[in-house]
Amino acid sequence: MKQRANVVVLAGGFGGARMAHGFELLGDQVELSVIVNTGDDLELHGLLVSPDLDTVMYTLAGLANDATGWGLRNETWSSAEMLATYGAPTWFKLGDRDIATHLVRTAGLRGGKTLTQVTADLAAQLGVRAALLPMTDQPIRTKVRTAAAWLDFQDYFVRRHHADEVLELRFDGMEAATITSEVARAIESADLVVMAPSNPFVSIGPILSIPGMAKALLGVAAPVVAVSPIVGGSAVRGPAADMLAALAKVEPTAAGLAAYYAATYPGLIYALVLDRADAEHEEAVARTGMRPLITNTLIGAADARRQLAEELLALARH
């Protein structure tokens, strides 16, 4: 591998942002591209909100609120208070500074730019060095079926606090989606592809469902490495463990995740990274055909993010 490695990260919001930041901390060792899930996007108060894109962007810009895992540090909420005064819904909180991002994004799209172009403009203004790439320029909306009804993803995830059992998923708009030229180029030139420790169903799943995406990843010589979001039988954050049990019908463990990935994306993943707490699942992972790599996957601290990125880069180089 050349001295400066082209790294592509497939990312949802929370875990994806932290994994991308780990590679960003490696500086000139890495040319980083982050392909981000947009199935979580929603229209709110006339604005397009892209939660995963913004979480990754704010994290790479050094502006993220690490305490919450979403939004900006030192945020204020005057607009939300006024919206409540008008009787508008405020269950999905938009801070005053955050609203500026959605205003600029929406104006750019209405002016004829693609989501990829608008995202590049926003990231450049915030000093983000990495290429921040929406998974597609076409609108995709993740829908969740519960016992009661089909729900918009954010309705399920934020308003209802992902308390409902998920019986089925669908990605509206997927049939019209296409892989962008920017995403295709990033994958073609990759020395390493990392599936971040994001939800395999509603963060990684929509990305890999874009027509042409899985084929492009299968066609590259670069190893594809997945980092498990399951540690000790629980998701680090969110409903990934519950979805493994409900949707994949496997145990919510690292071994269960490996079985799901191997069955759903055969031949795609070279190695699965497990936390040390899940070392007992090493042999079960190996039986799926994936190489198990055991290390620390809890990357809340910057040093831990950098360390994991260094280990993944070393795996690709050797």
pLDDT, tens only, 273-292 = 999 999 999 999 999 999 99
Task: State pLDDT tens for residues 36-86.
Answer: 999 999 999 999 999 999 999 999 999 999 888 889 999 999 999 999 999
Reported confidence tier of residue 174, pLDDT bands at 50, 70, 90? very high
Position 93 scores a pLDDT of 92
Position 200 scores a pLDDT of 96
Please work out, in degrees rounded to the nearest 5, the angle formed at the alpha carbon of residue 151 by the alpha carbons of 71 and 50: 30
Position 20 scores a pLDDT of 98
Task: State pLDDT tens for residues 136-163.
Answer: 999 999 999 999 899 999 999 999 999 9
Nearest to 138 by CA among 175, 101, 111: 175
Position 2 scores a pLDDT of 64
DSSP-assigned letters across all residues of 245-296: IIII-S-SSHHHHHHHHHHHSTTT-SEEEEEGGGGGGHHHHHHTTPEEEEE-
Position 317 scores a pLDDT of 85
The answer, yes or no, to whether residue 203 has pLDDT greater than 70, is yes
Position 69 scores a pLDDT of 85
Task: State pLDDT tens for residues 250-269.
Answer: 999 999 999 999 999 999 99
Distance between CA atoms of residues 225 and 227, nearest Å: 7
Contact call for residues 200 and 171 (beta carbons, < 8 A): no
Position 318 scores a pLDDT of 78
Q: What are the residues facing 195 on neighbouring strands?
A: 10, 226
Task: State pLDDT tens for residues 110-139.
Answer: 999 999 999 999 999 999 999 999 999 999
The answer, yes or no, to whether residue 195 has pLDDT greater than 90, is yes
Mean pLDDT (whole number) for 199-206: 97
% of residues, the chain, pLDDT over 70? 99
